[in-house]
Amino acid sequence: MFHALTHHPALTQAQHRALPNVSNTDLSNLKAALLGKPNTLNPVALAYGSHFHTAVLEPPHYARTEERGIKWADLETLARQVRRQRYCRDLLYRGQAEQSYTATHTDTGIGVKLRPDLLVHSRAGRQLTLIDFKTTSSPDRAHFLTTIEKYDYDRQAALYLDALGSTRFLIIGVQKKAPHEVWRVELTAMPGLIEQGRKKYTALLRHHARQVAGLSIPLTVPAPLAMA
């Protein structure tokens, strides 16, 4: 499905974003445009997410800034909650954080870029697990599960798994409000979810390729799965 996978270990987040390749976020923007619902990004929410990831994944690089609207104390509480959770602490100890990769989608020739939050190799070296940390306003785990398709986490998981040749994709959901629960969700254990995500990213990459070629076709969105 993909070839020419290349690791770019020294890239910063800003350098990664500057790459001309298509990201999962670009696919979200393309989907929104095709459906006539352009994404309106909240700069405070984007900054909050970026600083939260730094606090969790690269704490030596974390520092408060002069950016307004960010509740720093709340952000730091969430980061501590994740880092003190035993399972997450083990992942963070063994994993590689914020590594950039590029690859080429074989069917369309479109270059993609990926920057998983965390990559963890099994101790035997046979499994590669991708971990993505998501803050959420969901009141409970059941509600959080309903956001997987709403925010196209299935598409992100399939894209990353296929491009990197990984075996597992985990989401660590972190509840923004008290009691600040931390939920572990393995998307690769949900029947049909990754295949659904694969159909989504394939359709969007084909749309992108046709746009580059000056063509246009209507977008077909896969029917949602029933979540357990």
Q: Is the pLDDT of residue 186 over 60?
A: yes
71-95 confidence digits (pLDDT tens): 999 999 999 999 999 999 999 999 9
The kind and range of the H/E element at 169 are strand 168-175
Domain spans of the chain, in order of start: 42-93+117-212
Contacts of 72 (CB under 8 A, 6+ apart): 64
Contacts of 183 (CB under 8 A, 6+ apart): 141, 144, 172, 173, 174, 175
Q: Residue 163: which of 48, 3, 11, 28 has the closest Cα?
A: 3
pLDDT at 41: 76
DSSP code, position 224 = P
Q: Is the pLDDT of residue 20 over 80?
A: yes
60-71 confidence digits (pLDDT tens): 999 999 999 999
Q: Return mean pLDDT, the chain.
A: 93
What are the residues facing 104 on neighbouring strands?
Answer: 3, 111
Position with higher pLDDT, 82 vs 123: 82
**Residue given tokens 């083990």 in the structure block:** 90
In this structure, the strands spanning 168-175 and 128-136 are parallel
pLDDT at 222: 58
What is the reported pTM?
0.91
Question: Residue 122: pLDDT band by 50, 70, 90 thresholds?
Answer: confident
**Assigned architecture for domain 42-93+117-212:** Alpha-Beta Complex (3.90)
Percent of the chain at pLDDT > 70 equals 94
